[in-house]
Amino acid sequence: MTAEGTAPLGAAHRAAAYLAARPALAVAAIYLAARIVTTIFLVIGAEIASRHTGGDVTIGTLSMRWDGQWYWLVGVQGYPTELPLDGSGNVTQNAWAFMPLYPFVSRLLSFVFAGQYPLAAVAVAIVAGYLASLALFHLLRAHIDAPASLWAVALFAAGPLAALFQMGYAESLFLLWLFLALLMLQRRRFGWLYLLLPLMAFTRPGILAFALLLGLYGIVRWVRRRADPLPPVQIVHFVSLGLLSALLGFAWQVIASLVTGDPQAYLETELSWRRGWTNDDGGFMPFSGFVQASGIWFRVWGLPEAWGPVALLVVVAAVAALLLFERHVRALGVELRLWSASYLVYLLLVFFPQSSIFRLLLPLAPLSGALALPKSTAWRVSMLALGLLGQWWWIDQMLIQGTTFSQIP
């Protein structure tokens, strides 16, 4: 190859090395490019939705759909002191299902935007998404090289759920707290967790998964204590942080019950979303949501309902094997693998999977590092292309065509 032919390649390598040495700048470039693509998708989606409905759909209205409306309501009006009931006396959908930190921060910022809550909510989501991407880079960089970490950030920032970084949803802010908490756990700077765990707990549900992570991680550290010394002060941190996260996991339920006078206010509110699928007035039982939903979805797909729970067991076993044995996943370190397992167990315990299951899986984003580890450029570009295709599919299904409860993002 001639010197002229190698010059562009050499310049590209120097640019990549420059960016890798300055992760804040590199992540910003990746994140900005991803947001431009998402904006184009949303503009096209708004045009398609306007033609289909005959209304004036804009990128702004798409960004504030579904749960964005609930967060807006919380930010402007707060929470009801009396729970709404249907004709049978069951609690119906209401604002208590949504944690307060994100809408209240958006409400405060809205004063900078002349009182425009939607602008503030999207701004918070975008900024938090960038900071979460930067935290993800540092989280992965502890175990994999800089190019792979940057590719993982690209897969995260431009992936199937990337439109959430430009919507009035709390996901971006929750992921920021989560990735920072995992980073502090990884670096064993436990003091920061006493601040981050409450922020997580009042942004989105999921803090109980972190309690499980702390318990499992403490056990792993105890087993490995000869090779990796476990000072008494760290044992104290594991116990106290585990108790704190467990208490925080039930704090919102206590607050809702005190304000409304109903001890089951939060739980009944969450179950109200499930009743639209099951028509079941029964209470909550751990693991029952996934078992019920597996049969319902197989029936919807025209398959024998009895196959649903069997398929669920197969999927659970496959994911467990992936976390335990797949070499690219193992390369991410014990903290991220234990978090992924803990969060999946949490979902299995409490969640009823429907169309929002894709969004609920977003806290597993650190596993994108495993997808970015193979050094084949063709592989990495293919994963990015699949992510972009998945993003358009998600926008089309959940925002453009999404008009019923079965298409809630």
Note down the domain range covering 273. 11-407
pLDDT of residue 404: 64
Residue 282 pLDDT more than 70? no
331 phi/psi in degrees, rounded to 5? -65, -15
> Is residue 284 one of the residues assigned to a domain?
yes
**pLDDT tens track for 151-198:** 999 999 999 999 999 999 999 999 999 999 999 999 999 999 999 999
User: Residue 370: which region, alpha, beta or left (left: phi > 0; alpha: psi -120 to 50)?
Assistant: alpha
DSSP state letter for 62: H
Which one has a higher pLDDT value, 286 or 260?
260
Mean pLDDT value across residues 32-46: 97
H/E run at residue 108: helix 101-110
> Is residue 319 one of the residues assigned to a domain?
yes
Angstrom CA distances, 97 to 2, 20, 68, 114, 249, stand at 63, 41, 13, 28, 14
Q: How far is Cα 219 from Cα 239, in angstroms, rounded to an integer?
A: 11
> Is residue 2 one of the residues assigned to a domain?
no
Q: Is residue 174 classed exposed, middle or buried when 0-12, 13-18 and 19+ CB atoms within 10 A define those classes?
A: buried
Angstrom CA distances, 291 to 195, 305, 321, 358, stand at 36, 11, 21, 18
Pull the structure tokens for residue 78. 């707060």
91 phi/psi in degrees, rounded to 5? -65, 135
Confidence grade of residue 339 (pLDDT, cut at 50, 70, 90)? very high
> Is residue 122 one of the residues assigned to a domain?
yes
Confidence grade of residue 289 (pLDDT, cut at 50, 70, 90)? confident
Q: How far is Cα 227 from Cα 112, in angstroms, rounded to an integer?
A: 53
**pLDDT tens track for 357-400:** 889 999 999 999 999 999 999 999 999 999 999 999 999 998 98
DSSP state letter for 395: I
Helix 207-223 and helix 193-201, axial crossing angle in degrees, nearest 10: 150
**pLDDT tens track for 341-369:** 999 999 999 988 887 888 999 999 999 99
How many Cβ atoms from other residues are within 10 Å of residue 81's Cβ?
Answer: 8
- Report the share of the chain in percent with pLDDT over 90: 73
**pLDDT tens track for 97-150:** 999 999 999 999 999 998 899 999 999 999 999 999 999 999 999 999 999 999
Cα dihedral across residues 107, 111, 116, 121: positive or negative: negative
CB 217 within 8 A of CB 338: yes
> Is residue 20 one of the residues assigned to a domain?
yes
Residue 1 pLDDT more than 50? no
CB 366 within 8 A of CB 139: yes
| Residue whose token pair is 């208590």 | 96
Confidence grade of residue 403 (pLDDT, cut at 50, 70, 90)? low
> Is residue 396 one of the residues assigned to a domain?
yes
pLDDT of residue 20: 62
Confidence grade of residue 272 (pLDDT, cut at 50, 70, 90)? confident
> Is residue 6 one of the residues assigned to a domain?
no
**pLDDT tens track for 225-264:** 999 999 999 999 999 999 999 999 999 999 999 999 999 9
> Is residue 361 one of the residues assigned to a domain?
yes
pLDDT of residue 7: 57
Mean pLDDT value across residues 313-322: 91
How many domains does one find in the chain? 1
Mean pLDDT value across residues 307-316: 88
